[in-house]
Amino acid sequence: MPVTACDVIVKIVTLFLVFMAVLAMFGRLRFPGQKRLAAARCARCGRFRMGRGPCDCGKTTGKGKGR
C-alpha cells in the first residue's frame, strides 16, 4: 500500500480541520470563563473579591476613608 502525495495532503487537511475545531472549542470555553472572572471583580475598585462577601474597599469606608 504505497503512500502517494494525495494521501499526505488529505492527512494534512484533516489535521488542519481538527486543529481548527480544537481552537474553536477553546475559544468558546474561554469567553464564559472571562465573564466569570469579570463578575468576581469588585465594581468599585476592580480587584478580585475573595468569596462572596463584600470587597475590602466597602469595609474600609467606615474608617473615615471616603464616604
Q: Which residues bind Zn ion (CB under 5 A)?
A: 42, 44-45, 55, 57
Cell digits of residue 38: 469579570
Share in percent of the chain as helix, strand, coil (round to 5)? 65, 5, 35
Least separation in angstroms between residue 49's CB and Zn ion is 7
User: Please, which residue, 13 or 45, has the CB nearer to Zn ion?
Assistant: 45
**Nearest Cα to 58, choosing from 44, 39, 47, 46?**
44
Give the residue with the Cβ less far from Zn ion, 18 or 45. 45
Nearest CB to Zn ion, comparing residues 5 and 50: 50
